[in-house]
């Protein structure tokens, strides 16, 4: 083990591990996981209950004895998650049908309408319109929808009859689909309390034994204060610690940084494994923010924070700039190659003509290369502005030129996004395409093939349709037909700024040594960035100037994620490094081996004891998807015990 017990992973070792990884059936960290487009059921299909769905039984009585298609009606449906989308025909009901069953997505509010197929023979009553039937359905709920056709009383066949509807009637009492989450929170809290009590009792036992058997009168043979406890109750003993103190200043090691990184990787594993089948543990379909959208930006952000420490160390060792750049370039290349190997994961041979080039680790590589290469020229070890009148903001003023360069990246992103004239799409379109802004379900939207606007257009021109992500998260909802890559080229400009905001947190830690000064600045930055993000998106999900959008890595999304990161780091720093009321466990251990965690969780996702087949319900899936992160926490704890740390 070289230096501080940290083991460096050479390129050959990386390639060996990834050869094993490539042969597995792993799925990389990509948003959406290729959701399959659902088929449209027609003519009263047989349906089985599924997770995240509700069943609607449509009971249609027409008062007409013979089957006549002129009196048939259709159920039109759309989820409110599909912003500015038309209603789509989901089910055709003949006039003599007694009932039809259909499953409706219960994750979001449902827009429903019963509409006659032939308006010249059947007139729609207001009770069948969208504003009367739409509502939020309960998962696993069974609903009855009564539809009645009444012929006209005049006997004149030219006068249409009327179709009327009753509001949806819930026929069962479905269990709360969030109960598994409540139980999981209770179990996690209970285990945490038991571990904490166990550590206290373990420490107290040794203290009592020392007082009972190892004292003579009032004199202690061994100083009880020499005992210290580490995570999960591991004891270490130091005798006469004052005699072993090193006169040299010790390098500050903040456990909060590794804990922050560990939180990100644990959340990533949980959401990559499925998040218990809950929609808010999966990536956003287009605009908006879910729990799963936090992890990738936070990794980018904390990479910038750690960069401040690594550069300070290299400068103190008087490392030449060409060697610093070589290290930056080498690490970026390794990350890029790892990303390509992630994209080839699967049991089938990779077709190079369809190899996805962008990806998560590729975004890491490009971001790190840009931010680190720029910071190489601005990093400093001497605080020369401490006693100036701008000393309280010297972490910003001393790097003013570096700030300007990164603001230029954001400006270029905005200009390209809103000023580039995309063929067939015009300027400034940032929607998902497909059904978005379509007039109706039969007429295609003018933006049907404009998914992602300028961002999608650039990737398709540079990489080609076959070399970018084929199943964006918007595809199942918006029925998009063109590929779109959420880790594309244009979004890299904003991820560079995200990383630089993380570097700003590192500068705060390097510049200001008082905990209160650090925490105040973290909270101010967090609040400031979140307010700007809210102003850009209009404090709403859709319709803002620059909406929160993980697929686009919009400016509002980056600022919001950075704001949350500042606040979370402040919490971790105060509880772990200042007041020491939390050791950082269990997140601290995976945070020390984040690259191993990323590789291992994708490699062994479908292998026992990490994963196995379970029923399609929230209870079993949530238990399995929580077990995966817990397993790797235990594994990295054992690595920590053996002082094994894998880095690139």
Instruction: Report residue 389: phi and psi, to 5°.
Output: -70, -20
- ∠ CA(595), CA(601), CA(605), 5° rounding? 160
From residue 342, alpha-carbon distances to 90, 367, 461, 603 in Å are 38, 18, 23, 10
Residue 301: which of 524, 495, 441, 456 has the closest Cα? 495
Angle at CA of residue 640, ends 635 and 646, nearest 5°: 85
Q: What is the mean pLDDT of each run of 10 residues along the chain (648 residues)?
A: 40 37 36 34 54 88 60 88 91 71 91 86 88 91 88 65 88 91 93 84 67 48 36 33 44 85 93 91 93 93 94 89 94 92 75 89 95 93 78 89 96 96 93 89 84 95 93 92 94 97 96 94 97 96 93 96 97 94 90 87 84 89 93 92 87
Taking the C-alpha atoms of residue 200 and residue 65, their distance in angstroms, rounded to an integer, is: 79
Check: CB of residue 121 under 8 Å from CB of residue 161. Answer: yes
Do 518 and 317 touch, CB atoms closer than 8 A?
A: no
Contact 56, 99 (CB under 8 A): no
**Under 8 Å between Cβ of 430 and 553:** no
CATH of domain 53-170: 2.60.40
Strand partners, 76: 89, 113
- The pLDDT value recorded for residue 156 is 60
What is the model's pLDDT at position 504?
A: 97
Active site residue 283: yes
575 class by beta-carbon count within 10 Å (0-12 exposed, 13-18 middle, 19+ buried): middle
- Among 22, 33, 118, 283, the one annotated catalytic: 283
pLDDT at position 235, please?
30
Instruction: Name the residue among 200, 134, 140, 177 with its Cα closest to residue 281.
Output: 177
Q: Is 365 left (phi over 0), alpha (psi -120 to 50) or beta?
A: alpha
CB 647 within 8 A of CB 598: no
Does the pTM surpass 0.85? The reply is no
Number of H helices, E strands in the chain: 17, 15
For the purposes of burial, counting CB atoms within 10 Å of the CB of 570, is it exposed (0-12), middle (13-18) or buried (19 or more)? Answer: buried
Domain ranges of the chain: 7-29+258-647, 53-170, 189-242
Say what the pLDDT of residue 98 is: 63
* 3-state SS record for 318-349: CCCHHHHHHHHHHHHHHHHHHHHHHHCCCCCC
What was the pLDDT predicted at 101?
86
pLDDT value, residue 155: 59
pLDDT for res 376: 93
Q: What is the DSSP string of 400-432?
A: HHHHHHHHHHHHHHHHHHHH--BTTTBSS--S-
Instruction: Report d(CA 244, CA 228) in Å as an integer.
Output: 15
């Amino acid at each position: 083990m070289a230096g501080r017990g940290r083991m460096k992973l050479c390129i050959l070792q990386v390639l060996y591990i990834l050869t094993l990884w490539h042969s597995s059936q792993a799925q990389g960290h990509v948003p959406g996981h290729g959701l399959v487009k659902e088929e449209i059921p027609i003519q009263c299909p047989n349906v089985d209950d599924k997770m995240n769905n509700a069943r609607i039984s449509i009971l249609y009585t027409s008062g007409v004895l013979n089957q006549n298609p002129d009196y048939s009606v259709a159920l039109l449906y759309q989820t409110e998650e599909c912003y500015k989308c038309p209603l789509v025909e989901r089910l055709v009901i003949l006039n003599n049908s007694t009932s039809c069953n259909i499953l409706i997505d219960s994750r979001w509010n449902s827009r429903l309408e019963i509409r006659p197929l032939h308006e010249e023979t059947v007139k729609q009553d207001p009770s069948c319109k969208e504003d009367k039937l739409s509502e939020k359905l309960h998962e696993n709920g069974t609903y009855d929808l009564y539809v009645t056709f009444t012929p006209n009383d005049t006997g004149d066949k030219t006068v249409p009859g009327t179709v009327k509807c009753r509001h949806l009637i819930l026929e069962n009492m479905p269990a709360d689909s969030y109960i598994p989450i409540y139980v999981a929170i209770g179990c996690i809290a209970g285990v945490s309390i038991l571990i904490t009590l166990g550590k206290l009792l373990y420490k107290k036992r040794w203290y009592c034994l020392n007082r009972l058997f190892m004292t003579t009168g009032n004199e202690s043979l061994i100083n009880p204060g020499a005992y210290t406890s580490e995570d999960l109750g591991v004891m270490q003993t130091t005798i006469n610690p004052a005699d072993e103190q090193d006169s040299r200043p010790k390098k500050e090691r903040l456990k909060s940084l590794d804990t922050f990184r560990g939180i990100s990787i644990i959340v990533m594993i949980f959401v990559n494994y499925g998040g218990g089948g809950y929609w808010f543990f999966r990536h956003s379909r287009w605009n908006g923010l879910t729990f799963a959208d936090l992890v990738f930006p936070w990794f980018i952000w904390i990479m910038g924070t750690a960069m401040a420490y690594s550069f300070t160390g290299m400068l103190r060792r008087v490392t030449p700039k060409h060697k610093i750049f070589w290290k930056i370039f080498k690490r970026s290349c390794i990350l890029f190659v790892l990303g390509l190997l992630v994209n080839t994961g699967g049991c089938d041979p990779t077709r190079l003509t369809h190899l996805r080039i962008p990806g998560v680790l590729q975004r890491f590589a490009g971001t790190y290369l840009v931010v680190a290469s720029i910071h190489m020229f601005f990093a400093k070890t001497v605080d020369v502005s401490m006693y100036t009148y701008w000393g309280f903001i010297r972490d910003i003023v001393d790097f003013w030129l570096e700030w300007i360069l990164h603001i230029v990246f954001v400006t270029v992103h905005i200009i390209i996004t809103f000023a580039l004239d995309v063929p067939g799409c015009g300027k400034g379109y940032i929607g998902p395409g497909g059904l978005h802004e379509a007039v109706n379900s039969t007429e295609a939207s003018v933006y049907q093939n404009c998914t992602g606007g300028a961002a999608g257009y650039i990737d398709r021109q540079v990489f080609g349709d076959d070399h970018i992500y084929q199943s964006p998260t918007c595809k199942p909802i918006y029925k998009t037909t063109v590929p779109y890559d959420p880790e594309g080229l244009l979004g890299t400009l904003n991820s560079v700024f995200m990383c630089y905001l993380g570097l700003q947190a590192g500068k705060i830690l390097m510049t200001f040594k008082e905990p209160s000064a650090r925490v105040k600045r973290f909270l101010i930055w967090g609040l400031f960035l979140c307010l700007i993000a809210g102003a850009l998106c209009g404090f709403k999900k859709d319709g803002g100037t620059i909406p929160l959008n993980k697929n686009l890595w919009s400016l509002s999304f980056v600022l919001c994620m950075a704001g949350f990161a500042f606040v979370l780091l402040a919490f971790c720093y105060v509880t772990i490094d200042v007041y020491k009321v939390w050791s950082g466990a269990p997140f601290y251990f995976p945070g020390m081996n984040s690259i191993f965690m990323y590789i291992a969780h994708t490699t062994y996702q479908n292998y026992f004891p990490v994963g196995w087949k379970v029923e399609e319900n929230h209870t079993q899936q949530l238990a399995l998807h929580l077990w995966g992160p817990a397993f790797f926490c235990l594994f990295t704890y054992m690595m920590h015990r053996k002082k094994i740390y894998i880095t690139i």
